[in-house]
Structure 1
């Protein structure tokens, strides 16, 4: 028994020291090499501070809607709903989101609604949507803001971010950046 307990205690102490100290300091040191030293992407506009890398709630019809959040956009409580596509409760929530989207976007067919506009991400804090998800909302926003559709389509295209390092992940549009730019249109 002694031959098993002593190595286990040593391993526990070494692991505790490594992950509590060495690893934490290594991650903190690496974060210092990035913009804002790992404190997130902060955007300041009109005297307000926004975090571009955390999903925000945009439900007003004059803005591009962001992806729904299972945690109410609470960064302290990041997480998904943990309900699968066969869960009845989940299907009711998704259908309600579809119905709401169609009420606010009457010219869109149900089959044309991108999935990320009616389902929450795994973190509940996804700040991005696809180009298609942004473009499907253009007509509604153009009508409300009295802006040409082409102007808004160009704005969306100007805010498309390519995949990480040109190959990891899909193209995306940051909803916060897009809506801030939308407010700057004259």
Structure 2
């Protein structure tokens, strides 16, 4: 019986050491060496060095001076502890009513005939940090008016932050909301009372 137990114990110890200790340390070491910024969470810092968010996780911006993210179904909105989509199918009457209401409100506010889909639908995770360039451009007039600057100036900042497809073929062009909002604040500083 000992001849059967000994190999099992040795294999458990060996695989625990290799797969439970050595492999995670090796992967962490490679990640920290080659992709240190991403391995640390792609943290975004302000001028003072304070962490204001992550380039990989969306957050709520509701003030008119900022680019607004897409809707979020994660908890109360952009709650990383409740990451999830709405799980409502495209034919669900509740989703259809919500999208129609949101699209009508956005049409009334912007005068746009066509509303980008990401302006009225949540992402699968509810934490998407990006919006489409079309949705970002749709918000330029509101931001310009709230900041008291020309629409063309806000549009320049937005265009400078349009990211292309990954490796030229993966995904769609996108705009990171947090990074663009930080650039807007840097380009058009707001009075201290507003900030």
TM interval, short-chain normalised: 0.7 to 0.9
Q: CA deviation at 1:93?
A: 2.3
Q: Does 1:62 align with 2:65?
A: yes
- The alpha carbon displacement at 1:181 in A equals 0.7
Residues 132, 37 of structure 1: CA spacing in aligned structure 2 closer, same or farther, 3 A cutoff? closer
What is the distance in 2 between the residues matched to 1:25 and 1:117?
41
Higher relative contact order structure (alpha carbons within 8 Å, sequence separation ≥ 6): 1
What is the distance in 2 between the residues matched to 1:153 and 1:91? 31
Q: Which residue of 1 aligns with 2:5?
A: none
Where in structure 2 are the equivalents of 1:15-26 lying within 5 Å?
24-25=24-25
Runs (4+) of structure 1 exceeding 6 A deviation are none
Distance 1:97 1:121 in 2: 15
| Number of equivalent positions | 172
Give the match's secondary structure for 1:43: strand
The residue number in structure 2 matching 1:134 is 136
Where do residues 20-99 of structure 1 align in structure 2 (5 Å cutoff)?
24-25=24-25, 27-32=27-32, 33-36=34-37, 38-47=39-48, 48-49=50-51, 50-71=53-74, 72-99=77-104
Residues of 2 paired with 1:21 and 1:97: CA distance? 50
Aligned twin of 1:151: 153
Gaps of 5+ in 2: 1-7, 189-195
SS of 1:173's equivalent?
A: strand
Question: Could you state the TM-score of these two structures normalised by the residue count of structure 1?
Answer: 0.80
Whole-Å separation in 2 of the counterparts to 1:97 and 1:26 = 48
Following superposition, the deviation at residue 36 of structure 1 comes to 2.4
How far is 1:106 from its partner?
Answer: 3.4
Corresponding residue number in structure 1 for 2:169: 167
CA 1:37–1:180: 2 relative to 1, 3 Å: closer
